Amino acid sequence: MTRRILPGATIGVLGSGQLGRMLAIAARQMGYRVHTYSPEEDTPAGQVSDVEIAAPYEDLDRVREFARHVDVMTFEFENVPAVTAAAAASCVDVRPQGAVLHTTQHRLREKGFLSRNGFPITPYQPVNSLAELRQGMKALGCPAILKTADFGYDGRGQVLIGCTGRQDAAWDALGRRQCVLEAWVECECELSVVAARGFDGGFAHYGAVRNEYRHHVLDVTVAPAPVSEPVQREAVAVTRDVLEKLDVVGVLSVEFFLTRDGRLLINELAPLPHNSGHFSIDACVTSQFEQQLRAVCNLPLGSTAQMRPAAMANVFGELWEGGEPDWAAAAAFPDVKLHFYGKLEPEPGRKMGHLTALGDDAAKRVLAGRDALTRRTHQG
Ligand SMILES: Nc1ncnc2c1ncn2[C@@H]1O[C@H](COP(=O)(O)OP(=O)(O)O)[C@@H](O)[C@H]1O
Ligand SMILES: [Mg+2]
């Protein structure tokens, strides 16, 4: 029987961004200690952890040393190198397991897993050369989207190729490396399901939520998704099947396209809490971060019951372009919750925080709250 990791024990986290920060906050609330490891200092996760180690992921001696001081290890960053996860796993349990990371951090391996198991996915072609890109465009039609096989996130490492688009320019722009070419899906909307699986095979999910993207980056989530019951049920059933086939212990999110003719296609998997699950902090009995902890610590999963409808809007670095955002104006919405990640440099496109609104008109309120951040009534 796998050991239970109980409050008082130390959770190790590889990666130090906002997901690690929210995980660390949940862990501390439950009385765990948190150690984080990433190449940077004064990070979103490090700021709220007991110990922050700044060292390269490739320094495997440091990774092993780090692992020896924690009781269980998880990660908050999907692109942690597989060798790093393996070095950690030689000293301590790592959840989700390295095999899950190996599959999901590489788009071709992920798509291979999904298609072998009969999951519905976007038509795609592997691309290893400009000639293969040209062949792929012929096979899939236009527009199509070229994505690097690894190290992509938040819309980075992908280029949309239109019908008159320069294929050689797209190939160059992504650095002439292994890619996947996907047919562009004209969809009704995008959905995602965040779910967890425990050591004992227990399953919990947060239902399907609707996601709106801007420039290929998540902008707004509405929970629950305003879709039919059968679509909700199918999205959850497919997600459960993915967690089981991948034998995940931890939280995993599935991103879907809902096509205009009502089919659900899997876009991608992330073996982590997901930006689209942030609403669960304020709206659900158990947040996705507490759920990840429960799963990796071999505790029973918590209730995912959603207490109120919710909407979440990301706050990006460009909001700082005209000066410091007007926090007080956003806080004047009493049902809007502010979350900021402690990032030091507000670069355009960078996720600096998010807002969550609760209630029947949550989608409208969260956008009003975000607009208020830039209203800047008090000048000078
Ligand atoms: N084949 C596609 N058809 C339509 N939209 C796509 C496609 N691939 C990506 N996108 C858009 O770009 C977003 C980000 O792409 P995704 O593959 O999920 O990369 P990331 O790892 O950056 O999240 C998607 O959520 C969607 O809005
Ligand atoms: Mg995505």
Query: Looking at the predicted structure, is the pLDDT value of residue 377 above 60?
Result: no
Would you say the CB of residue 268 lies under 6 angstroms from ligand 1?
yes
Q: Quick one: pLDDT band at residue 378, thresholds 50, 70, 90? A: very low
Task: State how far the Cα of 331 lies from the Cα of 97, in Å rounded to an integer.
Answer: 40
CATH of 10-94, one of 3.40.50.20, 3.40.640.10, 2.60.40.10, 3.40.140.10: 3.40.50.20
Q: What is the pTM of this model?
A: 0.96
What is the signed CA dihedral for 156, 157, 162, 164, rounded to 10 degrees? 130
Q: Which residues belong to CATH 3.30.470.20 in the chain?
A: 187-372
Query: What sign does the CA torsion over 284, 288, 289, 292 have?
Result: positive
The pLDDT value given to residue 79:
87
Q: Which ligand is nearest to the CA of 104?
A: 1
pLDDT per residue as tens digits for the range 156-208: 899 999 998 899 999 999 999 999 999 999 999 999 999 999 999 999 999 99
CA distance 217 to 213: 5
* 82-89 helix and 60-68 helix, angle to the nearest 10 degrees: 40
Atom number in ligand 1 closest to CA 107: 17
Question: Are the C-beta atoms of 73 and 86 separated by less than 8 Å?
Answer: no
Ligand 1 within 6 A of 79 CB?
no
Residue the block writes with tokens 């019908």: 163
b/e map 118-136, b = 16+ CB within 10 Å? ebebbebbebeeeebbeeb
The amino acid that residue 167 corresponds to is Q
- Condensed to tens digits (0 to 9), the pLDDT of residues 72-112 reads 999 998 888 989 999 999 999 999 988 999 999 999 999 99
Any ligand 1 atom below 6 A from CB of 154: yes
Closest C-alpha residue for ligand 1 atom 11: 216
What is the C-alpha to C-alpha distance for residues 109 and 130, in angstroms, rounded to an integer? 21
User: Residues 278-302: pLDDT tens digits?
Assistant: 999 999 999 999 999 999 999 999 9
Whole-number Å distance between alpha carbons of 107 and 99: 14
| SS3 assignment, position 172 | helix
Instruction: Mention the CATH class of domain 123-183.
Output: alpha beta
Ranges in the chain annotated CATH 3.30.1490.20: 123-183
pLDDT at position 376, please?
55
Instruction: Please tell me if the CB atom of residue 151 comes closer than 6 angstroms to any atom of ligand 1.
Output: no
Structure tokens at 330: 């956003």
Residue 45 to residues 30, 164, 256, 296, 310: CA-CA distances in angstroms?
A: 16, 44, 28, 18, 25
For ligand 1, whether the C-beta of 152 sits within 6 Å is yes
What is the pLDDT of the chain when averaged over all its residues?
A: 95
Give 154 Cα–ligand 1 centroid separation in angstroms.
Answer: 9
Element (H, E) at 163: none
Asked if residue 43 has pLDDT above 70, the reply is yes
Cβ(267) – ligand 1 distance below 6 Å: yes
CATH superfamily of 187-372: ATP-grasp fold, B domain (3.30.470.20)
Residue nearest to atom 16 of ligand 1 (CA): 155
Q: Return the sign of the alpha-carbon dihedral for residues 344, 346, 212, 140.
A: negative
In the chain, which residues fall in CATH 3.40.50.20? 10-94
Cα 70 vs. chain centroid, distance in angstroms? 24
pLDDT in the model for residue 375: 75
Return the amino acid letter for 366.
Answer: V
For residues 299 and 71, is the Cβ–Cβ distance under 8 A?
no
Which atom of ligand 1 approaches the CA of 145 most closely? 1
Strand boundaries in 277-350, DSSP class E? 310-316, 336-340
Q: Which of 343, 253, 294, 312 is nearest to 29 (CA)?
A: 294
Tell me phi and psi for residue 289, to 5 degrees.
-80, -45
Best of 137, 146, 154, 158 to mutate for ligand 1, by most ligand atoms within 8 A of CB? 158
Q: Write out pLDDT tens, residues 326-350.
A: 999 999 999 999 999 999 999 999 9
Q: Is the CB of 78 under 6 A from ligand 1?
A: no
pLDDT in tens, 318-331: 999 989 999 999 99
Enumerate helices (H) and strands (E) in the chain, giving the number of each: 12, 16
